[in-house]
Amino acid sequence: MARRFLLPSVISIVEYHLIHNSKIGAERMIWLADEYGMPALLEKCIRQMDSLEKAKKWQKSEEFEKLSDKSRSLILGRILKFM
């Protein structure tokens, strides 16, 4: 709705809620952050990948295929830090 009516403030409010109060899984939140342009949420979720196993699991998920090239590169950069 925020994109449709050009209301970026709504996206900021949703991003704040997702960062601080949401119980949605990390995979879904990364997709939401990528899809709706929420850089702080994207960074938080990627930082939560604290093991190579979690990163590899995420890389193999369906949601990973839906991400933009930029978000994929951030995730793969995080994976490289574990190697």
Instruction: State pLDDT tens for residues 4-52.
Output: 656 677 888 889 999 999 888 888 899 999 988 899 999 999 888 888 8
Query: Quick one: pLDDT at residue 5?
Result: 59
52 within some domain: yes
pLDDT of amino acid 57: 81
Please give the residue range of the domain that contains residue 16. Answer: 8-81
Q: Is the pLDDT of residue 2 over 60?
A: no
- The set of residues, in sequence order, having a beta carbon less than 8 Å from that of 40 and lying 6+ positions away, is 15, 19
Task: Examine residue 16 and state whether it is found in any structural domain, yes or no.
Answer: yes
Overall domain count for the chain: 1
Residue range 50-76: mean pLDDT, rounded? 84
- What pLDDT does residue 51 have? 83
Q: Does a structural domain hold residue 62? A: yes
Of 33, 29, 23, 26, nearest to 55 (Cα)? 26
Give the pLDDT confidence score for residue 42 in this predicted structure.
Answer: 94
